Amino acid sequence: MAGFNNDVIEGGSLSVTTPVSEANGGSAQSTYTTGDILYASAANTLSKLAVSTDGKVLTLASGVPSWATASGGTGSYILIQTQTAASSASLIFSSGISSTYYNYMFLLSNVVPATNATNLLLDISTDGGSTYLSTGFNSGDQTFPYSTATQTNINTTTHFLTTGTIDNTNPGCSGRITLFNITNGAYPCCSGHTQEYKSSVTQIGIIGGQYTTSAITVNAMKWTFSSGNISTGTISLYGISK
C-alpha cells in the first residue's frame, strides 16, 4: 500500500510498525506525553509542542504555538506562589519578586496563629532573605469590632503590621494586603483590609504602613506572628502587571 512502510495486513486489519507520514493522513509521531499539543509547524508537517508548567498560557511566536507567562494587561493580578501553613515558624516568599512587577498583593485565607493574642507581621528583605529589615517602619492597624463603634489602634516601627491582636482559633484572619514600590528602588509601603477573629468577635482591620529610612529594592518577604508559629492558613502572592 503506497505511503506505508513495514505494514502488514492480516485478516482485514492493518498493522503499522512505523509512524504514518503527514502526506498520507498520519502524524509522523510515534510517542506522546500527557499535555502534548500537535500542530502544523510548516506546510504538510506536524510537530509536537511539549507540555509546559501550570499557569503558562498558549500564545503565538513567529507564527507557531508556544508557551508564555500570562500577562493580562496593566493592573492584572498574576499568581506567583501560594503557601500553606502547617505549624510553620514563617512563610517566606523569595522567588518571583523582581522588576517584572513593582507592586504586589497578598491574599490571606484563614491564617490562624498557634499562640493566642498575637499579630500577623510582614517583613521585607533586600538580600534575598538572608536578613530582614527591623527598623524604619511607620505601620499601624485600626480595628473595628463588627458589633460596636469601639476602635483600637496599634502601631509599630519594626515591621509591616497587618492585623490587630487575634485569637488562636478559626477562622483566624483573612484579607488582602497590597504592597507598592517593592522592586523599583523607592520607598515600600502597604495598605489593606482584613477580617480578624478576637474574643469570639469578628473585627474589621484597616492597615497601612511605609518604610521610611531609604529607597530600597525588596527581593524577599516573610510572614510571621509576633509570637509562636503560623498554625494553619494559606497566603498567596500576586504580581500586579505594569
Q: What confidence tens digit (pLDDT) does each residue in 205-233 have? A: 888 899 999 999 999 999 999 999 999 99
- 18 and 132 within one domain: no
- 103 and 46 within one domain: no
The residue out of 16, 37, 69 marking a domain boundary is 69
Number of Cβ atoms within 10 Å of the Cβ of 158: 15
Mean pLDDT of the chain: 87
Residue 1 lies in a domain: no
- 12 and 88 within one domain: no
Q: What confidence tens digit (pLDDT) does each residue in 6-50 have? A: 555 555 566 666 777 777 666 777 677 887 887 777 887 777 878
- 53 and 108 within one domain: no
- 164 and 50 within one domain: no
- 58 and 165 within one domain: no
- 57 and 108 within one domain: no
pLDDT computed for residue 1 by the predictor: 45
Domain range for 33: 8-69
- 236 and 124 within one domain: yes
- 26 and 85 within one domain: no
Domains: count for the chain:
2
| pTM tops 0.75, yes or no | no
The residue out of 28, 50, 69 marking a domain boundary is 69
Residue 3 lies in a domain: no
- 65 and 171 within one domain: no
pLDDT computed for residue 16 by the predictor: 64
